[in-house]
Chains A and B, each alone.
Chain A
């Protein structure tokens, strides 16, 4: 069964700090790893990493994928109070299904204080 473990489960930082969120996974026939930000209800898409794209960057956010060690990190530099949210990591594998379900971790609750 596919499995995703995120750490830490919660984190409190001050504005301007840099944070690193971790995600380790076990999945049958890895296809992709996705990061989402969940502020209130709807998770919003951040990045998707695949075998052909193991590093992504958008503004202050960046993510890398280590397929050998089966983990990913999400970095946020110069944090702002608006970065406060739950960050979810999900993996997609091919276990015989169609269009590949997402298996999520429990998420990391990030709180950025002014």
Chain B
């Protein structure tokens, strides 16, 4: 079992650019959530997808958008990058059974310069 996989592992972008991060959930999981973890902070919930729709969203601007594909993999898109978007972006997957543990990927370290 490959677990949750994310790509790329590291990324450097310039202010104003756009970025796409990818996530493949653990086998058997159909729900994907995205989190942003700034240095010295805990992960902050961005949004959650299942059945190819955004189901819940945290306090993030519309520059952050996502998508889920029929195979349950997901993308996170960030437009008009700001320096403050520099962070570790974590993907978590879980089955659609309520109240279970979420499994995290290794994350994508995004640096905006």
Contact = CB atoms under 8 A, between A and B. Distances in A.
Interface of A: 4, 6, 31-32, 34, 36, 40-45, 48, 50, 88, 90, 92, 97-107
A99 B88 CA distance: 23
B94 interface: yes
B101 A45 contact: yes
Interface string B47-81: 01010000110100000000000000000000000
A100 B99 contact: yes
Contacts of A101: 33, 45, 48, 56, 58
A16 B107 CA distance: 32
B102 interface: yes
Interface string B30-45: 0101010000111111
Nearest to A50: B99
B99 A42 contact: no
Contacts of B106: 40-42
Contacts of B44: 104
Contacts of A34: 101-102
Interface in B1-58: 4, 31, 33, 35, 40-45, 48, 50, 55-56, 58
Given A41-B106, A42-B107, A98 B42 contact: no
Contacts of B43: 43, 88, 90, 102, 104
Nearest to B40: A106
B88 A41 contact: yes
Contact of A42 (B31, B45, B105, B109): B105
Interface string B99-113: 111111111010000
Contacts of B31: 99
Given A42-B104, A102-B33, 19 more contacts: A4-B42, A34-B101, A36-B104, A41-B90, A41-B107, A42-B4, A90-B42, A90-B43, A97-B55, A99-B94, A100-B99, A101-B45, A101-B58, A102-B35, A102-B45, A102-B102, A104-B35, A105-B42, A106-B40
